[in-house]
Structure 1
């Protein structure tokens, strides 16, 4: 028997047409992937190209700017008390210099713990830590000395360094040499002095503001109390006999971080971790003052 297959031809053609239609979008998608990842950018169809910016170039992804450093544009002078070389230059450091209202020795060797850890070594260590912390906040930091000179500088030159830098704040780092049982820190502020070449009129107020903030933050960072032998428990002491303060024309304070001659305080001052806390407290005080 003869079978007429002509009725099956259209059906086969329909299946082929459907298969071909399905291949078109798949091929187009594959071509687009190649064009984006491998092919030249000009081969992309208009609808697949990045939207142009105002100048015709593709828009870049937005970048969030970094927040400004809190102390950017500020200058801080750190004055590490004494100098490790002072011990070898007694004649030079005993020369008298003008401190504005009278004369005083150029510098001293400073004190030390009973075990021989010197104030000069302590002040440099804390000053280096303080410098790092302030630079991390964007401040420009100047040291009056970094054991990079035979002795000194003399107290009048220390003041001039801060003045020449037009410092926003100056901190002189020290440790005290009082008697056993006298414990704690204190911050020395300039008194109102006007005579000879000294005139602290313009810095008394700002220096007190700086000193109050340093005292507060130092206590918080170190967990130590204000001195029990000076300042009436406030942690603040006002003096008119220090050339470094009398000759300053910018806000300046001294920080006596503790008493090296007391065994309990000495245990703190010789501890590396505690010195980092001390630097952190001073830095926080300076930063708070400069940002107020």
Structure 2
């Protein structure tokens, strides 16, 4: 994701973004180092780059440049429609509810007035949503997030979980970040995850998981979910390293793959355990080769799934 908008606003300047963050448990660091070695030694196979870019923004400056995503299909579904829930059968996660939030929406670029309006994120007011970022060749983050989310849904349903999306390409724009949080809350999700890819400068690479800080301001109160969310984040980060072979971020998180932030509306407004994952940096050619590969996206979904399953099964 690009760090602009209510749930995606920029942290402090890139090299000084190490504000409030929590280092993952000691066991995660060796796993992260193994992932780094694998990442440096083995180049993932790149997939076909297709699509065109939506608005792209820099994590350092928050600037944006408009362009057009390839998937022009639009639904007549009204913006305030609540996405349908998929009910899964028996399995080790039977009775568990997971909410998956595919970041942004391919149609956001056509609805600038709607996504630019301010919503309450608890600590202040921010834009409803953003268009996200893209690879330099035009593969849009909003397409990436939907693809990984759908793969993840299939894996979790095979484990018996009930899976609900915040959007499934079934609405013309959004939802706003406050609604994204509300969908998880109203579903009484046992775990929620928002899927993204970053838009940082070239040379910044690797994934990181974002957990909510303990926030108590206005309508935001994450004190009850901060610890379980960090637990979820640590498990997802550890599994992601192991399954994908990707390195933890080299620009945030001190090599742990885990960051704690207090400025994201999608986390501030959550009342259920929730994390974001930035699966890589779309603006870096090495990361982009992975992000545009269908085989790698399947690994990403598997890594996220195994972290969620580990969290839910304790």
TM over 0.5: yes
> CA separation in 1, counterparts of 2:215 and 2:226?
9
Q: Which of these residues, 218, 233, 236, is aligned with residue 196 of structure 1?
A: 218
Shift of 1:162: 0.1
For the residues of structure 2 that align with 1:210 and 1:158, how far apart are their CA atoms?
Answer: 19
TM-score (norm 2): 0.71
When the two structures are superposed, what TM-score results if normalisation uses the length of structure 1? Answer: 0.77
- 1:177 aligns with one of 183, 186, 199: 199
1:1-292 mapped onto 2 (5 Å cutoff): 69-292=91-314
Residues 85-125 of structure 1: per-residue CA shift (max 9 Å, x gap) = 10110111000100001001000000000000000000000
In angstroms, what is the RMSD of aligned CA positions?
Answer: 1.0
In structure 2, distance between residues paired with 1:130 and 1:147? 15
**Matched residue of 1:289: which SS?**
helix
Whichever of the two has the greater Rg, that structure is 1
Q: Give the Cα–Cα distance (whole angstroms) in 2 for the partners of residues 158 and 285 of structure 1.
A: 21
Cα offset for 1:70? 1.1
Q: How many equivalent pairs are there?
A: 226
Note the residue ranges of structure 2 that are not aligned, 5 or more in a row: 1-89
How far does residue 150 in structure 1 lie from its aligned partner after superposition? 1.0
What residue is the counterpart of 1:33 in the other structure? none
- Displacement over 4 Å in runs of 4+: none
* Larger relative helix fraction: 1
| Higher relative contact order (Cα pairs below 8 Å, separated by 6+ residues) | 2
